C-alpha cells in the first residue's frame, strides 16, 4: 500500500481556552548559558506561545531546551547557547494557562487514541510481530527518497558483517540515506573491513578471527591519519566497498562524534562533544525520518534533539518518523524512558534488519 503522509491538524485557536489565555511571559537570561527562573523547557511536540495576542509555533524544537523570542519568531536554544539578555519564555504549565500550549496530538486528528499506521507505540518486545513495521518502512523510505530527508544513526555492529555492509551501501547508493550519524567505531571497523577484510580482527566474510587481528583496527586508523582524512585514505588505498566508501562516493554527509573510550580517533571524529552535538543537530534540523541502529548512546543523543514534527519550507507541518532498532529490548525502550515518546522500536538483529530493508526495497539479490 503506497505511503501517505499523516496530515497535521493544527489547533483551533478560536476556542475559548486559546482566546482567554494570557500572553506568555518572558524574562531575560541573566548571564550567558543561564536561563531565568521559571523558564519553560521544551518537548519533542509542537509548542505554541501567545505573543501580542497571536499564537506562534516554535518551528525547530528539541527536548530540554528553552524557547527564545527574537525578531518576531521563536528559536529553541540549548542552555549552553543562551546569551545574556536573550528573551526566554517562562511558565511551567502546558495547556494555555500561561500562554503556552504543548500539542502532542496534531497527527491523530487533534484527539489522540486513533490506531493510525504510524501511531505511537511503546514497550515492544521480542514477541512483538514486526512484519507490518517492515512494510511501513519500505513504503516510507520510497516516499522519503523523493520528498524527505532520511538520517541513519549507526553503531559498529552494522559493519561486522559483509552482507549488512553491502546492504547499507546499496541504500546509500540508491538515495535512501541523506545523512549518517555515528561514532568512531562504526567508521573505523567499516574501513577496516574494506582495507583488511576484518572488523575487530575477525574476518567479515567467514567470521574467523585472524592472527594478530587485534592490530587491524588501529592499523586502519593509523593509515587513515597518515593520509589525513577518510576520503584521502579511500582514494590512496584503492578502497572500493563499504559504508564510508559509499557515503564519500555519493557525497552523503556523515557526522562522527567520539567518546571517552575511542582509539585513535579518525581525523573526522569530533573530540569536543558539544561541537559534535551541534553538527548532529544540523542534520537533524532537516530530518523527516530517523532510523537508529545498535547504538544506545547515539540513539538517545539523537532522540533528545529530534522533534516529532518538522516545519517545511512552505510552512506546512509534517510528522517526523523515528525508529530505534536493536537486539536489546532495553536499548530500544530506553528512548521512550528518556522522553522520545514518538520513537517506534524494532527488536531484532540490526544486520538482519539492514539486509531485509535492502531486499524489501528491491536492492538486494
**Domain positions in the chain:** 16-102, 131-360
- Nearest Cα residue to 284 out of 270, 271, 301, 259: 301
pTM of the complete model: 0.92
> What φ, ψ does residue 217 adopt, rounded to 5°?
-70, -35
Q: What is the DSSP letter of 79?
A: G
What is the dotted CATH code of the domain comprising 16-102?
Answer: 2.40.420.10
The pLDDT of residue 124:
62
End-to-end alpha carbon distance in the chain: 23
The pLDDT of residue 126:
61
The pLDDT of residue 334:
78
The pLDDT of residue 2:
81
233, 242 Cβ separation under 8 angstroms: no
What string of pLDDT tens digits covers the 365 residues of the chain?
A: 688 898 999 999 999 999 999 999 999 999 999 999 999 999 999 999 999 999 999 998 999 999 999 999 999 999 999 999 999 999 999 999 999 999 999 998 655 433 332 333 445 666 666 888 999 999 999 999 999 999 999 999 999 999 999 999 999 999 999 999 999 999 999 999 999 999 999 999 999 999 999 999 999 999 999 999 999 999 999 999 999 999 999 999 999 999 988 999 999 999 999 999 999 999 999 999 999 999 999 999 999 999 999 999 999 999 999 999 999 888 888 777 665 667 888 999 999 999 999 999 999 77
The pLDDT of residue 28:
98
Q: Please give the full DSSP string across 23-45, using - where no structure is assigned.
A: PPEEEE-SBTTBPPTTBPBP-SS
- Nearest Cα residue to 104 out of 50, 152, 63, 163: 63
Rounded Cα gap, residues 329 and 342, in angstroms = 16
What is the dotted CATH code of the domain comprising 131-360?
Answer: 3.40.50.10690
- Nearest Cα residue to 124 out of 354, 330, 340: 330
Amino acid at each position: 500500500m503506497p505511503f501517505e503522509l499523516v496530515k497535521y491538524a493544527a489547533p483551533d485557536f478560536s476556542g475559548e481556552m486559546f482566546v482567554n489565555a494570557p500572553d506568555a511571559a518572558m524574562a531575560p537570561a541573566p548571564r550567558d548559558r543561564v536561563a531565568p527562573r521559571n523558564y519553560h523547557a521544551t518537548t519533542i511536540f509542537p509548542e505554541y506561545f501567545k505573543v501580542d495576542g497571536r499564537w506562534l509555533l516554535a518551528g525547530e524544537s528539541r527536548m530540554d531546551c528553552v524557547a527564545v523570542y527574537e525578531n518576531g519568531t521563536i528559536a529553541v536554544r540549548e542552555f549552553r547557547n543562551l546569551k545574556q539578555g536573550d528573551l526566554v519564555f517562562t511558565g511551567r504549565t502546558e495547556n494555555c494557562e500561561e500562554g503556552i500550549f504543548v500539542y502532542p496530538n496534531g497527527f491523530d486528528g487533534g484527539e489522540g487514541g486513533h490506531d493510525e499506521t504510524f501511531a505511537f507505540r511503546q514497550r515492544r518486545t521480542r514477541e512483538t510481530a514486526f512484519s507490518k513495521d517492515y512494510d511501513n518502512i519500505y513504503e516510507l523510505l520510497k516516499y522519503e527518497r523523493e520528498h524527505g530527508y532520511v538520517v541513519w544513526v549507526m553503531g559498529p555492529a552494522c559493519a561486522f558483517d559483509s552482507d549488512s555492509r553491502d546492504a547499507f551501501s546499496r541504500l546509500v547508493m540508491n538515495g535512501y540515506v541523506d545523512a549518517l550519524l555515528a561514532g568512531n567505531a562504526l567508521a573505523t571497523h567499516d574501513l577496516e573491513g574494506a582495507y583488511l577484510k576484518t572488523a575487530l580482527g575477525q574476518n567479515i566474510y567467514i567470521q574467523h578471527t585472524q592472527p594478530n587481528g587485534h592490530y587491524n583496527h588501529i592499523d586502519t586508523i593509523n593509515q587513515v591519519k597518515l593520509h589525513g582524512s577518510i576520503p584521502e585514505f579511500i582514494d590512496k588505498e584503492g578502497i572500493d566497498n563499504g559504508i564510508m566508501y559509499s557515503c564519500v562516493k555519493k557525497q552523503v554527509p556523515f557526522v562522527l562524534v567520539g567518546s571517552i573510550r575511542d582509539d585513535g580517533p579518525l581525523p573526522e571524529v569530533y573530540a569536543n562533544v558539544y561541537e559534535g552535538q551541534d553538527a548532529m543537530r544540523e542534520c537533524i534540523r532537516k530530518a523527516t525520518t530517523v532510523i537508529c541502529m545498535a547504538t544506545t548512546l547515539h540513539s538517545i543523543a539523537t532522540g533528545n534533539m529530534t522533534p516529532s514534527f518538522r516545519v517545511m519550507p512552505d510552512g506546512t507541518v509534517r510528522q517526523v518518523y523515528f525508529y530505534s532498532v536493536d537486539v536489546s529490548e532495553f536499548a530500544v525502550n530506553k528512548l521512550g524512558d528518556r522522553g522520545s515518546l514518538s520513537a517506534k522500536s524494532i527488536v531484532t538483529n540490526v544486520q538482519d534488519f539492514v539486509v531485509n530493508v535492502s531486499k524489501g526495497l528491491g536492492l538486494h539479490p
